[in-house]
Amino acid sequence: MSFGRRGAWALVLVLACVAARGLVRAQQCRRVAASVAVGTSRNASGHWEAQVVLQRRSEAPGRGAGEVRLEVEPSTAICGGARVDSVTLTIRGPPPPPGPGYVSVPGVGYYRIHKELHTWAEAKAICEAEGGHLLIINSEAEDKAILQLLKRTPNLSTWLFIGFDDKEKEGFYVTIFGDPVASLGYARWHPGQPDDWDKKEDCGTVWTESGGLNDYICDGKMGFICEQRTG
C-alpha cells in the first residue's frame, strides 16, 4: 500500500465477519515511506476489534513534514445474510519532498531546469536518473507555473527539451509514456509550430520566452526541464 498521487490512503476495516487474527505488521525499521499494521482480536464481550497503526517515515527531520488527516466514514451492508459494519479510514498526508535542485510549485508539481546542453535522449536519461522524467505539460495551470519558472531563471537557451516526440509517426506527437499529446487536454504550440523544419525535427521543446511548444532536432543540444511526481 502506498500514497496515491494526492498523498491519500483509503483503508477499509471490516469489523464483522473477520476471519484473520493476530497482528500483521511491517518490519519496524524498513526504509519505506510509510507502512500500515492491522491487528484484530475479540474483546471481553465477544465483539471483534480492529486496530490500525500508521507509520510514516521522513528521511530528514523537517523534510516532507506536514499535517496528516484522518477521515472516518462508517457503513453497513448485508453479507451472506449477516450484517457487516465497515469503517472506511482515509489517511491524507503531505506529498514527499522534492529531490535536490527541484522547485516545488504547490498544487502543481516539482520541477528542475537544467541549463547544461544535452541531446533529447541524454536529457531524458538524466531526468530518469534523478527519479523524475522530462516535463509533460498537462494543464493550463502547469503551463503558467512553468512560464513563471522560466521567467525567474536567467541565461536560458531559446528552447528547452521536454517530454514528447513524433519519432514513430510524423505529426503524431506522444509523451515519453506513449500518451498522445492531443489526449492530455492541453497543448499550446508556439505560433507556426510544429513545422518539422528540414524534415528533421522530431523532439519536443518549450520556448523559454512564452512557454509555447515546438518541435526540434533530437540530436541538437540544449537545456531541458525535468519533472517529479508529487506522490
In tens, the pLDDT along 67-118 reads: 667 788 888 888 888 888 777 877 776 667 788 999 998 888 999 999 999 9
Percent of the chain with pLDDT over 90: 49
The DSSP bridge pattern shows strands 103-105 and 34-42 to be: unpaired
- What residue ranges of the chain are covered by domains with CATH 3.10.100.10? 103-228
Is the CATH number of domain 103-228 3.40.50.1240? no
- Summarised one tens digit per residue, pLDDT across range 10-44 is 444 433 333 333 333 333 444 445 566 666 677 76
Assigned C-alpha cell, 217: 532536432
How high is the pLDDT of residue 54? 62
CA 67 to CA 87: how far, in whole Å? 22
Contact (CB, 8 A) for 92 and 68: yes
pTM: 0.64
More confident residue, 98 or 147: 147
How many residues can be counted in the chain?
Answer: 231
Q: Which range (22-31, 132-141, 146-155, 156-165) has the least confidence?
A: 22-31
